[in-house]
Chains A and B, each alone.
Chain A
Amino acid sequence: MLLDTAAARVGPVDADAVVLANRRLSADYHVLALAAPEVAARTQPGQFVMLKPSRGLDPLLRRPFSVFEILRDAAGAPTGISILGKIVGAGTALLYALDAGERISVLGPLGRPFTEAPADQPVWFVAGGVGLAPFATMAEACLARGLQPTLFYGARRAADLHYADWFRGRGVDVRLATEDGSAGARGFVTAPLGDALAALAPGSAPSIYVCGPTPMMRAVAELAARHGHDAEVSLEQTMGCGMGGCYSCVVPVIQPGRAPHFVRSCLAGPTFKASTLAWEGLAH
C-alpha cells in the first residue's frame, strides 16, 4: 500500500447541498451553513470538505475547507455542516456571496482526522484567524469525553476574532491575542501559549493542535518543541482534487538520512505531527 493512501479507504459523498444560511461576520469572514446530513454524520474532527464555488467553469476547481460545525436537529441528529470562510480570491468571494436556498456541491468528508487526545493531559488548541475552523468539532469531541480544552486564539485585531463566545459558552478556556492589542494579549498567539508552556507542571504533556497561517504554525511548533512537546498541525495547501488524484497538495516530510519526501496532504493530512514536517520546504 502506498505511503500516504493507507488512511483514506472510506470514500467521500458528494452532496448537492442547500445553503441553510450564510452569516457574514465581517467584510471578509462568514459562516456558511449547508444541509448535508450524510457528510455531517461521517465527519470526524480535523477532516475537510471540497466545495465547488461555481456552477460553471470559472473558477473550475473545488476549494478545501475544514468542517467548522456539525449542525444538528433538536433530537441531536446531524443535519449539515458549516464552514468558516474568508475571502482570499475569486472562489472564496463566490462562497461569501451565496444566499440561503442556493445549492452547492459538497464533497467529503476527506482527509485524516486529528488524533484523539489522551484523557489525562491538557488539551490545547492554537488558532490563527480562519484557522479556528477545525476546533469547533474538536472541542465538542473533547468536551463529550469530559476533557477541558484551552483555546489560544490570535488574529490581527479584535474585529477578526470570531466565535470566541461559542467556545466559552461550551466550557472552553479561551485565551486571546491580537497583533494590535485590541483584545487579549498584544502580539502573536505564541505569547499566551509561551506563558502556558512555562507554567506547565513537570511531567505534564499537553496535546497541542494548531491551525492557522503556515508561519504561525511553524512558530507554534518550534515554541512547543523548545519545551519538549510535539504539536499536531492542520495544513492548508493548494489542492486540486482532495482525493489523491493530482499530487498538487504535497508537503515535505522528513526522512532520516535522505532528502524530504513529498506526501499528499489530502490523504496523509491535512493533520500532521509537526515534528515530521520539513517546514522549510512547505509552500506559502
Chain B
Amino acid sequence: MSGAASSRDLSVGIGSLTLRNPLIAASGCFGYGVEYGQTVDLRTLGAVCVKGLFLNEREGHAPPRIVETPAGMLNAIGLQGVGVHRFVKETLPELRALGATTIVNVCGTTIDEYAEVSRILSDAEGVAAIELNISCPNIKEGGIQFGCSLPAAHEVVAAVRKATPLPLIPKLTPNVTDVASFARAAEDAGADAVSLVNTFLAMAIDIETRTPKLTNGMGGLSGPAIRPIAVRMVYECAQAVRIPIVGMGGIATAEDVVEFLIAGATAVQVGTANFVDPFIWPKLLDGLTAYMDRHGIARVTDLVGTVRTKGAKAPQPSCPQPAGS
C-alpha cells in the first residue's frame, strides 16, 4: 500500500448503510460467509451477501448442479439452505464475531414469506441490509416469477418495504426484455438500491446421451462470459433510476470492478471468480486503489457512472421505450 492510502475514500453508501469499500461477496457464491473466515478477513470486505434464505430449510436440486461452459459455468443449485431461523441462531453470531458486514439474500415462494423472512432478519442482531431475491432462475415457485412481472415485482418490494427498516436491495434478473423498467419498479416501490445481474437462464446438452448436463435441465450462466451484457444492463439501469446500483456479472479482476463502477454501479458483487480464487479479495482491493492513484481519484464514488458517451454515439436502450413510459 502506498502512502496515499490515508487520503483515499473507498466508502460507498447504499441507503442508510455505509460500506467500507464497494466489494461485496455475491450471494450463492460465498456460502454463509463463515466458510471463508479462514481465507479472507471478512472485515476487509464491503459486505458479505449470504446464500439465499427461505423461512424453512430447503434441500435444493439433485446433482449434478453445475457444469462448465466457455469462460463461465451453469448452476442449478435450487437454493438449498438452512432457513432463516437456523441462520439467525447458528450463523449470524459467527458472522458478527468475524466482523462481517452481512447482507442477507431473502427468498420466498409467496409475498408473505418474503415479508416474514425480512421481518425476522430485521429483529436479529447483525443484519446490515436485505437483498431481495426476485431473480433466481432455478426454482419453480417464487424468485423469478416475481422478477419477470412488473406488477409482481412492485408488489413484493412494496410489501417487504413495509416489513423492514433495513436497506432493501431487490436483486434483478437479466432474463427480461427491459431490465431498466424493473429497476424503476423497484425504486417506485421503495427500494434503497437494486442489484444486478443474477444469472442468465441457459442450457448445456450432452450430445452423446442427448440429455441436459444439469439434472434440473436448465441453469443460470455466470462468469466472465456474461460480463459485457451485465455491464450494459448496469448502464441502462443507472440511466433509469436515482437509487444506487450494485453491479455484478463475471467480475474477475480489479479492472472489471472499475468498469462496473464507471458504468454506473456504486458497489459490486463478485461471485464465480471467488470459486476460482478465494484469495481474490485483497487483489481486487489493491487493484482498485492502484487505479484510483493512477487516475488521481480520491473518492471511489467519483468513479460511479462516469462513462463518457459525449461525442460518441450515445448508447441506445435495449428496447424502444413506449411513449409515456
Partner-B contacts on A (CB < 8 A): 1-2, 5, 8-12, 14, 52, 57-62, 105, 107, 237-238, 240-241, 243-251, 259, 261-262, 267, 281, 283
Contact = CB atoms under 8 A, between A and B. Distances in A.
A250 B80 contact: yes
B274 interface: yes
Contact of A107 (B63, B75, B278): B278
Please list the 7 inter-chain residue pairs (A to B) with the smallest Cβ-Cβ separation, ordered nearest first: A11-B38, A244-B35, A241-B275, A283-B63, A57-B71, A248-B66, A248-B65
B147 interface: no
Contact of B90 (A2, A11, A267): A2
Given A8-B35, A246-B29, A247-B51, A241 B278 contact: yes
A10 to B, nearest CB: 6
A120 B236 CA distance: 69
B58 to A, nearest CB: 10
Contacts of A259: 59
A61 B65 contact: no
B39 A11 contact: yes
A190 B272 CA distance: 41
Given A1-B94, A261-B59, A267-B35, A247 B65 contact: yes
**For the complex, would chain B's binding face be called helix, strand, loop or mixed by DSSP majority?**
loop
What is the interface residue range for chain B against chain A?
Answer: 35 or more
A14 B279 contact: yes
Nearest to A56: B71
Given A61-B275, A237-B63, A12 B39 contact: yes
A105 B91 CA distance: 31
Given A2-B91, A247-B80, A283-B63, 20 more contacts: A2-B82, A8-B35, A9-B37, A11-B37, A60-B68, A60-B223, A61-B73, A105-B277, A238-B63, A241-B276, A243-B31, A243-B275, A245-B30, A247-B77, A248-B75, A248-B77, A250-B63, A250-B80, A262-B60, A283-B62
B54 interface: no
Contacts of A1: 90, 94
B32 interface: yes
Nearest to A90: B68
**For the complex, would chain A's binding face be called helix, strand, loop or mixed by DSSP majority?**
loop
Q: Residue among B32, B36, B63, B91 with the most chain A CB within 10 A? A: B63
Contact of A240 (B32, B36, B275): B275
B303 to A, nearest CB: 25
7 contacts: A11-B39, A52-B276, A60-B71, A60-B72, A245-B274, A246-B28, A248-B64
A245 B31 contact: yes
Nearest to B93: A1
Given A52-B276, A107-B278, A247-B60, A57 B32 contact: no
B59 A262 contact: yes
Contacts of B276: 52, 60-62, 241
Nearest to B225: A57
A60 B73 contact: yes
Interface string B26-47: 0011111011111100000000
A242 B94 CA distance: 21
Contacts of B170: none
Contacts of B296: none
Contact of A5 (B34, B39, B77, B279): B34
A69 B24 CA distance: 38
Q: Residue among B30, B31, B37, B252 with the most chain A CB within 10 A? A: B31
A234 to B, nearest CB: 17
Q: Residue among A58, A241, A249 with the most chain B CB within 10 A? A: A241
Q: Residue among A8, A10, A11, A105 with the most chain B CB within 10 A? A: A11
Given A14-B278, A61-B275, A245-B35, A240 B66 contact: yes
B70 interface: yes
Contact of A243 (B91, B94, B272, B278): B278
